[in-house]
């Protein structure tokens, strides 16, 4: 639920301004675009990440990373993060409605994966499985319930 509220706050009340990017960051983003066209997704991702290392507020690099993580690498938590950053940095972008829709889809996939992982930990029924779940899913909607079940399993 915390993730949903945070996402909603960012997507509805985003604020930010366009910033000039350095030539090096622009060059990295363009290299990422080249790799993306060549369907070399990991190399494209690496170039976009390098652009963000140089310019953390580079909205276009966040957008491109969101696209790669969502459609190609299928890492929905990372896609969600980059789409939210894009929305925060470019609140007046013409494609913001599309980014919001992708953000919601990514969030739904993150929540579905979280639900499956929690169910697997419950099915395993061990303290180790619940501890691993909690370590792998910080801030999960099932976190408090998982902690309660873990306390029940641990010797007193």
CATH of residue 97: 1.25.40.10
CB 82 within 8 A of CB 62: yes
Tell me if 18 is assigned to some domain. Answer: yes
The pLDDT of residue 2 is 47
Q: Encoding tokens for residue 74?
A: 């299928």
Q: Encoding tokens for residue 44?
A: 């494209």
> Which of 93, 136, 100 shows the shortest CA–CA distance to 117?
136
| Position 6 confidence tier, pLDDT thresholds 50, 70, 90 | very low
What is the count of structural domains for the chain? 1
Q: Which domain holds residue 15?
A: 2-110
CB 1 within 8 A of CB 114: no
The pLDDT of residue 19 is 60
**What three-state secondary structure class fits 85?**
helix
| Position 9 confidence tier, pLDDT thresholds 50, 70, 90 | very low
pTM: 0.76
């Amino acid at each position: 639920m915390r993730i949903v509220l945070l996402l909603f706050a960012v997507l509805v009340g985003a604020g930010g301004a366009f910033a000039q990017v350095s030539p090096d960051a622009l060059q990295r983003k363009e290299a990422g675009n080249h790799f993306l066209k060549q369907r070399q997704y990991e190399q494209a991702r690496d170039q976009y990440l390098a652009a963000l290392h140089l310019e953390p507020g580079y909205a276009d690099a966040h957008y491109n990373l969101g696209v790669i993580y969502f459609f190609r690498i299928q890492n929905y938590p990372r896609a969600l993060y980059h789409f939210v950053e894009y929305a925060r940095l470019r609140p007046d972008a013409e494609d913001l409605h599309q980014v919001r829709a992708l953000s919601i889809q990514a969030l739904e996939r993150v929540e579905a994966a979280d639900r499956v992982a929690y169910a697997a930990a419950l099915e395993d029924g061990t303290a180790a499985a619940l501890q691993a779940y909690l370590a792998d899913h910080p801030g999960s909607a099932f976190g408090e319930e998982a902690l309660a079940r873990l306390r029940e399993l641990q010797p007193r």
